[in-house]
Structure 1
Amino acid sequence: MKTITRLLIWVLIVGPLSLFAQSDYYPGKIWIIVHDHEIIPVGERESNNPEFAQLLTDFGITEISQPMSFAKTPELQRLYELSTSLSEDSLFAALTRLNPNNELFLSIEKCYVPKTVSDPADYMWWLTVNDPNNDWLWSLQTIQAPQAWNITKGDTAVKVAVTDDGIDPLHPDLIGKIHPPYNYQSGSPFTPQSHGTSVATILAAETVDSGQVANGQMASIGYNTRVMFNSWGLSPCVYASSVLGANIISLSWYAGCSPPTSYLLAEQEILNNGTTIIRAAGNGTIHCGGLRLYPFSGFEDPRTIVISSTGKDDKHVNSESCSNSSTNSHYPEVDLCAPGYRIMGGTSTNGGTNTWPYYGCWGGTSQSTPIVSGTAALMYAVNPCLNSNWTQDILKNTTDPITDAANFPGVVGTGRLNAFKAVQAAQGSHSTSLDLYIKDRPEDFGYPGSYAWGWWFDKSPDIWVRNQADGFTNQTHQEPEYSSSQPVYVYVRVWNKSCDSSYAQGNLALYWSKASSSSSWPQNWDGSQPTIGDVIDVLPIPNLGPGDSKIFEFEWNILNPYIHQNWASCLLARIEDIISDPITLYPNQLEFDVYHNNNIALRNVTVVDIHPGLVLPEIGGVRYPHGRFMFVGNATTTDGNFDLTFEIPEEEEGASILEEAEVHIILDNEGWELLQTALEQHPDIRIIKEREFLVLSPRVTLENIYFSAETRIPIYVGFSFLTKEITNEETYNYRVYQNYHSDLEHITGAEHFIIHKSPRTPFYANAGSDREIRKNESTTFHAVDISETATYNWYDPQGNLIYSAKDVSVSPDITSKYKLEVIANTDGFKDYDEVTVTVKQFWIEQISPNPTNSQTLISYEIENTNSAYLIIMNSFGTIHNNYILPLNSTSHSVDVSNYTPGAYSVILVVNGIGVDSKNLIVY
């Protein structure tokens, strides 16, 4: 009550406009459409307009982006966003003054802030939004419910079935929300229970628009959605689907920890009907030891959607639940999480006998599940063609990250529910006319803009390779392995995102090409150059119903990689020959073919497996590190300048390969001529020998490389792990991509490498101890054998390979450091050691006779020096005599007859530095 009073007083003093006021525009953001790209500075290119360049400096504009570089309209391709820490009004005025006759800019615009039109009047929602001390409905804010409601507030025609322990139809937030108003299978009256009431209110509590008067206090994700309810059991679930045609079944209970046959049959029937099953994963180890629950666990049929929980901090680990202290269940069948700790939900009024309030704090997957079910109801409201497969795909591929997901690898699904993204994807993918598509990315749902341009359109999850015919169940992409007697298998998934059946129209064609960051259709794929690319096969597409998908299997007899130099391959799938769903071609721009056509998809992913026993590839008599060849260059018919980037992808999971390995790039002679100048000037490149260099930084770009039309060069990308650096990590990612130098956002293509490293016993290079020799002498190093087949390479101080063997003899003129490289032939792991040879330029050759009591002859080497002398000093340092040496001499006679008997040191000093000494005994 104190919170309400304080808020009301503030509104009265400040006024309602101050409470709800917000800017119409994004602060510091301006959009301009330029007539000429050259006015925009990019990389080292400066603006061609000095006044505009000065304006950028004055406003401290360091960030310029292209929000719609993917657009087809030329004007939108010339749209740039300027960001300043100063006022957008001031920037807008300055740009307007610079553009009196629209000579520089077609348009100058402030950026509107999208505003929600959905602001429920329900009391708990109003407090959550406006009172910083109240977060009763934080879960709706977290999943971006208002943005989802901007798209739809649900449809009462969507059939959502809830089966639970009971429900209170008299609860203020459920009045008029339960249809029919009795148990839908038995026809019997409801039994008021709090658990079922909480589930129903979280899913579909009465939610009313601003200006209306609510019966209850809650708002729910389902908004206008209604539910049909029955007491729990397996039979009501089947009845809801098979008899009543339910779109969704929301299940927040379990019956056992092992699946009877009836459960399996019921699950299959419901899903085959097209009904989506959304079920709770369970709460910690309370049930079934934290493992899968039955019925409908998602284990027997992966179409079932299994939900676990996160908290307000977006962590899966529970730190804030009000009714359950354990972290909720997590296991491989979990598909995604949703808010499930400290959730507001209704409680039973028990026919009016319980006292107000009829709400409480809940925690568990029983509560996270109806949040997902309510979101699915909104999805069905904008796309009535959805089915279980399609609904699951959208929900899983529109999630937001879970903060502590790394602590639960593979057992908390793809992330935390984002209702807005899910509803938006469902709406965007709806089509009333036939529309078959193949995904470019997991979040590609077949409509324009469903994923951002540049987010790697060439990694289709709907294309994968298997070296055995198991790809229907095992959808992990493998690198194709050559066999003269056995094909490899390629699998392609096709989706029908429309409400129409395909009626067996069209064909699915699959093509291969040597991997490249620049490729053109059709010449690199159609078999006109059969060692460059060719068609694999064309399969007819059978009838696909609305929302259905099908996986096609292709057999591929790959070219012998040993004949064709260990090349990586790229795969291109095209849905062809459907008159109502044609392909729009973009000549010379295969990347646009893929991005703008949902019936074309590209898989440009190479898997490099490195494990003991996998011998290093030998190409042209030379052993290469594990890796693959690919093309870079210009596959178009127009000359151009390009940037070539080698990088560790930030958005990918896995360790940083540069922390454990060397990344080698090997060129041919033509490639060396084209890239040598750029390489020699680059601080993050180390040239280790002609035509080979190492990449030293996580992201290295060679800028403004000129490639004439239809010119591509092969590069070899290889990986050598260092035994001193290896960790327990097993998976790494790397990427080589290319873009137009004049347009940094226009990526022509990429090759993506997934590197798998197996554990191995480390070894260490040992070159022996340092050596000291005299000028013109030689010495021999003996590398310590590592007890496995290996290559031993010796490099001089300049990094040149001087010998490949365990033993090497050297004769340096000056003190030099040599490097030993040991490479295990089985897997390419390597280690280095260094050894120093100190070369003495000046020395004492001999003292004779020694011992002596009269004359002794001291011979030495002092050639090419400016000054030299000898010091003879007793062991206490109290007596010493100096003898200046003629520079052309090689010996000097010393009379020691007057020396006190004892031990002396003879020291040779050259150019003021003591360089050698020997002992002298006087008796």
Structure 2
Amino acid sequence: MKTLILLVFLVLGAAANASDFEYLVKLETSKGQEALESLNLMGKTRTFQTSFGEFAVLKTKRELEISDFNYLHSKSAIQYVDRNIQIKVSPIEPGKSINAEDASFKKQWGLKNTGWNGGPIWRLGKKGEDINAEKAWGLSRGRSTIKIAVIDTGVDYDHPDLKNNILMNEAEFNGVDGVDDDGNGYVDDVFGYDFANNDADPMDGHGHGTHCAGVIGATHNRSGIRGVMGRVKVLPIKFLGDNGSGTLEGAVRAIDYAIKMKVHVMSNSWGGGGANKALLEAIKAADEAGIVFVAAAGNSTNNNDKNPSYPASYQVDNIISVGSMDGNGKKSWFSNYGKKSVHIFAPGSDILSTVKNGKYKKMSGTSMATPFVSGAIGLLLTHEKNMTPKEIRERLMATSVKNKTLVKYAASGRLDAYRLLKDMRN
């Protein structure tokens, strides 16, 4: 079966194929109207509110020049200006979807590597190079009180292997249609929210987000596959559309929504490109709320120590940057790395998981490694409730398996869920 390599990157142009250019502007508290007066002289604006302040999206007919940025930054009512960069997930060599009867735990080498299931027949794996899931499940399979946000292309919340582990907003489900029953600022968000289309249906029309959700929380039963957690509540948050494309604005709003929904972990299988202030501020707000932000290190064989990849490379205590390993316990050929900046490696090559329309598929990428870590953290929080994001990151690294092939590529080694729960340190 062919594999799917998911290369996720940021396009640094505001809207490369569009006639308009967009910018994300952070407004000074209590000076929003003053800021909008300045912005409206340059183009059309719309605003949105977050838990960490008010933003305006400025749309212009021409690309702003340095003099324009200097003008905006001179205004006391404006804190900063970022390009509303586009974020895309781009599949290469897509594999074929399979049905539930062809998917099984025996094919999930990341959970239990027999050596025979760790890759294609011409590239067998190494027994034991996995996350040690079965021993971890002897301690915990999770708990439905743990909430993990999958911030991505959405999730197929009707998938037979996922539907029992999807977070349902009971207030909205039992409430009145067209009314914000729980008062969180979003109407009818029963299964999460879609910031790509600005509606309350985060159904996945792409497949990437559903794949990540399955790695975290596919139901433990006799059909299909198993997630790292058998019991969890996955919150689907969509900001990448069915074409795999989204914006910085969508990412910021998605993170803010996850904060409002009081999740424990945010799983982010996207990233790359340059730094910006808006995304950094959103992640810092999540850190202040005690939420772990797990991020893919990237798929460009890049040394993130020398050339940072964002959001994984932001220096915030709640960020855990994840690289990808193959079935032999080696760095996946595509994975980014960094002795200082990539915190841990996890299975990311030839990973079988759920996709849209109730199907299953193998995919590869740091996108796949990231939810392994998110799920393991969920198990840890089931086991020990009151840990800070910084403490979780330190424990994750201290209990990793430092095999010889990965220690030169990461600040620690590979994920071991059992050692994590038992706090077995190197």
Please give the TM-score of this superposition, normalised by the length of structure 1: 0.29
Give the secondary-structure state (helix, strand or coil) at the position aligned to 1:386.
coil
Which amino acid letter does the alignment assign opposite residue 217 of structure 1? G
Q: Does the 8 Å CA contact 1:139/1:339 hold for their aligned counterparts?
A: no
Further displaced range: 258-267 or 274-283: 258-267
Structure 1 pair 132–266 and aligned structure 2 pair: CA distance change class (3 A): closer
Structure-2 separation of matches of 1:286 and 1:405: 15
In the alignment, structure 1 residue 202 sits paired with structure 2 residue 215: yes
User: Are 1:222 and 1:378, in contact at CA under 8 Å, matched by a contact in 2?
Assistant: yes
- 2:198 equivalent to 1:183: no
Give, as a single letter, the amino acid of the residue that structure 1 aligns with 2:327: K
SS in structure 2 opposite 1:269? Answer: helix
Show the counterpart of 1:113: none
* Alpha-carbon distance in structure 2 between the residues aligned to 1:238 and 1:139: 41
Match of 2:229 in 1: 222
Structure 2: gaps (5+ residues): 1-100, 120-124, 169-189, 240-250
Post-superposition shift, 1:226?
A: 2.2
Per the alignment, in what secondary structure is the counterpart of residue 176 of structure 1? Answer: helix
Aligned pairs for 1:718-867 (under 5 A) are none
Q: Quote the offset at 1:389 in angstroms.
A: 0.8
Q: Is the 8 A contact 2:215 2:372 kept in 1?
A: yes
CA distance in 2, matches of 1:124, 1:141: 19
Whether the 8 Å contact between 1:258 and 1:293 is mirrored in structure 2 is yes
How far off its partner does 1:224 sit? 1.1
- Does the residue aligned with 2:352 lie in a helix, a strand or coil? strand
Distance 2:400 2:114 in 1: 27
* Aligned-partner Cα distance in 2 for 1:140–1:201: 22
Question: Could you list the per-position Cα deviations for residues 889-921 of structure 1 after superposition, in whole angstroms to 9, with x for gaps in the alignment?
Answer: xxxxxxxxxxxxxxxxxxxxxxxxxxxxxxxxx
Tell me the alpha carbon deviations over residues 132-190 of structure 1, each in whole angstroms, 9 at most, x when there is no partner: 75458999971110111111110110111111012222323112222135224752342
Cα separation, partners in 2 of 1:193 and 1:123, compared to 1, 3 Å = closer
Task: Kindly provide the CA deviation profile for residues 95-131 of structure 1, in whole angstroms up to 9, marking residues without a partner as x.
Answer: xxxxxxxxxxxxxxxxxxxxxxxxxx99622566798
Opposite residue 154 of structure 1, the aligned amino acid is G
Using the TM superposition, give the Cα deviation of residue 298 of structure 1 relative to its aligned residue in structure 2, in angstroms: 3.8
Contact 1:328–1:364, Cα closer than 8 Å, also in 2: no
Corresponding residue for 1:259?
275
- Structure number with the higher strand fraction is 1
Code of the aligned partner of 1:149: W
Cα deviation digits, residues 561-605 of structure 1 (max 9, x gap): xxxxxxxxxxxxxxxxxxxxxxxxxxxxxxxxxxxxxxxxxxxxx
Distance 1:299 1:158 in 2: 25
Q: Unaligned regions of 5+ residues in structure 1, if any? A: 1-120, 209-213, 319-325, 353-357, 429-442, 444-450, 452-923
Match of 1:304 in 2: 319
Query: Would you tell me which structure has more helix in proportion to its own residues?
Result: 2
The letter of the residue matching 2:192 is N
What is the CA-CA distance between 1:309 and the residue it aligns to?
1.3
- Is 2:362 the counterpart of 1:361? yes
Q: 1:220 to 1:122 in 2, by over 3 A?
A: farther
Aligned pairs for 1:8-47 within 5 A? none
How far apart are the structure 2 equivalents of 1:330 and 1:225? 31
- Higher relative contact order at CA 8 Å, sep ≥6: structure 1 or structure 2? 2
Match of 1:614 in 2: none
Q: In structure 2, what residue type is equivalent to 1:421?
A: R
Residue 235 of structure 2 aligns to a residue whose secondary structure is strand
Deviation at 1:404, TM superposition (A): 1.9
Q: Using the alignment, how far apart are the partners of 2:354 and 2:126 within structure 1? A: 16
AA aligned opposite 1:163: I
Give the drift of 1:273: 1.0
Equivalents in 1 of 2:261, 2:114: separation in Å?
43
Could you say which residue in structure 2 is the equivalent of 1:418? 416
- Contact 2:114 2:127 (C-alpha < 8 Å) held by counterparts: no
Q: 2:191 is aligned with what amino acid? A: Y
- In structure 2, do the counterparts of structure 1 residues 165 and 390 end up closer, same or farther at CA, with 3 Å as the change threshold? same
Contact 1:253 1:366 in 2 (8 A): yes
Aligned letter for 1:248?
A: V
Structure 1 residue 193: deviation in Å? 2.0
Instruction: Report if the CA contact (8 A) 2:147-2:264 is conserved.
Output: yes
Matched, 1:234 2:232: no
SS in 2 for 1:225: strand
In 2, are the aligned partners of 1:162 and 1:230 still within 8 Å (CA)?
A: yes
Q: Any idea what SS the aligned residue of 1:378 has? A: helix
Which residue does 1:282 correspond to in 2?
298
Q: Give the structure 2 partner of residue 192 of structure 1.
A: 205
The amino acid that maps onto 1:282 is G
- Structure 2 residue aligned with 1:166: 154
Deviation at 1:225, TM superposition (A): 1.7
Q: CA deviation at 1:402?
A: 3.1
Distance of aligned partners of 1:245 and 1:401 in 2 relative to their CA distance in 1, 3 Å threshold: same
Contact 1:200–1:227 (8 Å) recurs in 2: yes
From the superposition, tell whether residues 269 and 178 of structure 1 become closer, same or farther in structure 2 (CA, over 3 Å): same
Q: Deviations over 1:486-524 (max 9, x none)?
A: xxxxxxxxxxxxxxxxxxxxxxxxxxxxxxxxxxxxxxx
Change (3 A) 1:184 1:384: farther
Give the aligned residue type for 2:261: L
Q: Which amino acid aligns with 2:410?
A: V
Q: Secondary structure at the match of 2:211?
A: helix
Letter in 2 for 1:311: D
Partner of 1:124: 104
Counterpart Cα distance in 2 of 1:285 and 1:404: 15
- 1:315/1:235 Cα in 2 relative to 1: closer, same or farther (>3 Å)? same
Closer, same or farther: CA 337–283 of 1 in aligned 2, 3 Å: same
Residue number in structure 1 paired with 2:376: 375
Deviations 1:790-810 (A, max 9, x none): xxxxxxxxxxxxxxxxxxxxx
Aligned 8 A contact 2:303 2:336 in 1: no
Aligned to 1:230, the other structure's residue is in SS state: strand
Q: Which residue pairs with 1:246 in the alignment?
A: 263
What's the secondary structure of 1:156's corresponding residue?
A: strand
Q: What's 1:715 paired with?
A: none
2:280 maps to amino acid: L
Post-superposition offset of 1:312: 1.5
Q: 1:294 and 2:296 equivalent? A: no
Which of 345, 361, 374 in structure 2 is aligned with 1:337?
A: 345
Relative to 1, partners in 2 of residues 1:398 and 1:189: Cα closer, same or farther, differing over 3 Å? closer
Tell me which residue corresponds to 1:268: 284
- C-alpha change, 1:189 and 1:398, in structure 2 (3 Å) is closer
Question: SS state of the match for residue 169, structure 1?
Answer: coil
Distance (whole Å) between structure 2 residues aligned to residue 172 and residue 140 of structure 1: 29
* 206 and 141 in structure 1: CA distance in 2 versus 1, 3 angstrom threshold: farther
Tell me what 1:146 maps to. Answer: 134
**Aligned structure 1 segments of 4 or more residues deviating by more than 3 angstroms:** 126-141, 285-291, 327-331
Deviation at 1:284, TM superposition (A): 2.0
Partner of 1:704: none
Partner-residue secondary structure (3-state), 2:330: coil
Question: 8 Å contact 1:291–1:329 — kept in the other structure?
Answer: no
Give 1:418 shift: 0.6
Aligned residues of 2:204 and 2:356 also touching (Cα < 8 A) = no
CA distance 1:217–1:135, change in 2 (3 Å): farther
Q: Distance in 2 between matches of 1:182 and 1:403?
A: 43
SS at match of 1:300: coil
Please tell me whether Structure 1 or Structure 2 has the larger radius of gyration of its CA atoms. Answer: 1
Q: Is the 8 A contact 2:126 2:328 kept in 1?
A: no
Letter paired with 1:194: G
**Inter-partner Cα distance in structure 2 for 1:245 and 1:292:** 29
Residues 1:122 and 1:382: Cα distance change in structure 2 (over 3 Å): farther
CA distance in 2, matches of 1:282, 1:132: 26
Q: Work out the percentage of aligned pairs sharing the same amino acid.
A: 24
- Which one-letter code corresponds to 1:206 in the other structure? T
